[in-house]
Structure 1
Amino acid sequence: MTRVVLVHGIAQQYKGAHTLLADWFPALSDGIALAGARPAREDVSMAFYGDLFRPAGHRGLGVPELEAADVEEGLERDLLLRWWEAAAREESQVAGPDAAARLRTPDVVQRALNALSHSSFFAGLSERLMIYSARQVRRYFTELQLRALIQERLVQALSAQTEVVVAHSLGSVIAYEVLCAQPELQDLTLVTLGSPLAVRGLVFDRLVPEPTAGHGRWPAPVKRWANIADRGDVVALAKELAPSFGDRVTDVLVHNGARAHDVRPYLTARETGQAVVDGLGTSGAG
């Protein structure tokens, strides 16, 4: 059991806990170094759940063949459109939606996919990968057994020795829901990176426990919550969590360069390193 537990986001189904940790740990170490400390490898672990999204017995290689017509009405479609709107606001090379909402679903989704292919975040991703990313978010919220299995991976990684949870993207949703359900844990620091937790109509309203009067419940084990976002991150559509979860959340903006949602520049940021060091306290990294 480790002092720092990491929780990844979407589209990691062909990796594993050790693979991701090997990628994340150097970046996290750089951020912590900027905060004047040094983490021990044995103090950090990855709560991995990506394999639960890996297609079983699929004949083809990689992600299943998906096209605009396969996008489901509701969360999948709405998520792609919101990503499109955000990308168009932040990047001049991305054409905006205009009156796209009046088009038939395959038409509007195809326009969204075409536009997002020109964005810095989705550059290099195929249409099917973009669709598959939105689908993983939809499946987390709509498939209760899958949701429970994913959450159990994080529950198994947490222990009395855990002091900090660092969660990226969809991982921040998983971390929030798990910590709300684990009041017996104490004095944890939650660090969320590129989090969509406060995106109303898509994520916020689907959380468990259900928000009350427009406010999400504070997770009982959390003594400190740092939320870190890049202004151009199209996944973290709502950059500030404090208005939705209370003013005890410390919202911090960072600049990640062209790949605004990529976890590595989030981890190398001094602000992330400082949040982890603060969570570890006087007995923090060496």
Structure 2
Amino acid sequence: MSRIVFVHGIAQETVGPESLLAEWYPALCDGLVLAGGEKPARDEVAMAFYGDLFRQAGHRGIGSPELDASDVEDGIERELLLQWWEYAARLDPRVSGPGDRTRARTPHPVQRALEALSHSAFFAGVGERLMIGAARQVRRYFTEPQTRAAVRERFERALGDRTEVVVAHSLGSVVAYEALCARPDRPDVTLVTLGSPLGVRNLVFDRLLPPPHAGRARWPAPVRRWVNIADRGDLVALAKELGPLFGDRVRDVPIHNGAKAHDVRPYLTARESGEAIGAALAGRSS
């Protein structure tokens, strides 16, 4: 069984665990070496892969079906896109905000959000279909119990008694958190979350299992140490600090990933990530 278990985020439905590890493992090693640590053997690292659970069934057309604003469902999908828009407008002067109608081509708020986000550095080169698809995977995880259970089962299957560190990116941090809360009897691990949406109120935080109580979430019992790492420009990690919601045992660490704020590779190559993971492998506090 692996000492390190990765958990990926959204938009990985057409790849697989080995192809993801081919990208993640070298970045992990770079971060560990930069922090003065040692590289783990390749067979000590595993990917908890669930992307295929979101892969669409075949159809008669070519490519994936196009999505536009009319396909966005009310609730999680709509509100997530609007929150991304609002935050992007605060960070990026090229993005017109919800209160700026000078560039609006339509009064439809979702269409305005998609148009504005297309001008942001975060979603540069990403079409409407991919933006909507990202919000849709979050919605499906929280509203389809069978999908949620299947995703968590994939993560639980990857864990072993030798697992020392869980490195969870994006939606994967939600998967890891919920699964670890449900397994209070398993051996202790260090949890490192990268670009996590766990602190997004109403859309993510308030939908977690187990449900938060009085504005605070339960601490996952197997987690002896939790380091949360977030880039200020990461739209997915709208709430950069998890300590206020999950407890002061969370160590919140800001980093800068450059142009690719949510990309897992600059997260993993960062010295801060290497220090957190390396300390866990060495059995010391980070």
Range class of TM-score, shorter chain: over 0.9
Name the CA distance, whole Å, in 2 between partners of 1:59 and 1:49. 25
Deviations 1:245-279 (A, max 9, x none): 00000000000001111111100001101111111
Name which of structure 1's ranges 52-61 and 151-160 shifts more when overlaid on structure 2: 52-61
Kept after mapping to 2: 8 A contact 1:5/1:165: yes
Structure 2 equivalent of residue 85 of structure 1:
86
Name which of structure 1's ranges 91-100 and 22-31 shifts more when overlaid on structure 2: 91-100
Kept after mapping to 2: 8 A contact 1:69/1:106: no
Count of matched residue pairs = 280
| Pairwise CA distance, 1:59 | 2.7
Kept after mapping to 2: 8 A contact 1:63/1:132: no
Is the aligned partner of 1:223 residue 2:224?
A: yes
Structure 1 equivalent of residue 126 of structure 2:
125
Deviations 1:177-211 (A, max 9, x none): 00000112122000000001011011000000000
Structure 2 equivalent of residue 20 of structure 1:
20
Structure 2 equivalent of residue 194 of structure 1:
195
Structure 2 equivalent of residue 150 of structure 1:
151
Structure 1: give runs of 5+ residues left out of the alignment. Answer: none
Structure 1 equivalent of residue 3 of structure 2:
3
Query: Which amino acid letter does the alignment assign opposite residue 117 of structure 1?
Result: S
Name the CA distance, whole Å, in 2 between partners of 1:117 and 1:72. 19
Kept after mapping to 2: 8 A contact 1:164/1:279: yes
Which secondary structure does the structure 1 equivalent of 2:27 belong to?
Answer: helix
| Pairwise CA distance, 1:64 | 2.4
Query: Which amino acid letter does the alignment assign opposite residue 16 of structure 1?
Result: G
Normalized against structure 1, the TM-score is what?
Answer: 0.95
Kept after mapping to 2: 8 A contact 1:231/1:254: yes
Query: Which amino acid letter does the alignment assign opposite residue 150 of structure 2?
Result: L
Query: Which amino acid letter does the alignment assign opposite residue 251 of structure 1?
Result: D
Name the CA distance, whole Å, in 1 between partners of 2:225 and 2:63. 39
Normalized against structure 2, the TM-score is what?
Answer: 0.95
Q: CA RMSD in A?
A: 1.6
| Pairwise CA distance, 1:234 | 0.8
| Pairwise CA distance, 1:282 | 4.7
Kept after mapping to 2: 8 A contact 1:68/1:106: no
Q: Flag the 1:274–1:65 CA change in 2: closer, same or farther, 3 A.
A: same
Structure 2 equivalent of residue 109 of structure 1:
110
Structure 1 equivalent of residue 65 of structure 2:
64
Which secondary structure does the structure 1 equivalent of 2:108 belong to?
Answer: helix
Structure 1 equivalent of residue 164 of structure 2:
163
Structure 1 equivalent of residue 237 of structure 2:
236
Which secondary structure does the structure 2 equivalent of 1:72 belong to?
Answer: coil
Q: Quick one: percent identity of the two aligned structures? A: 68
Kept after mapping to 1: 8 A contact 2:33/2:274: yes
Structure 2 equivalent of residue 259 of structure 1:
260
Kept after mapping to 2: 8 A contact 1:63/1:129: no
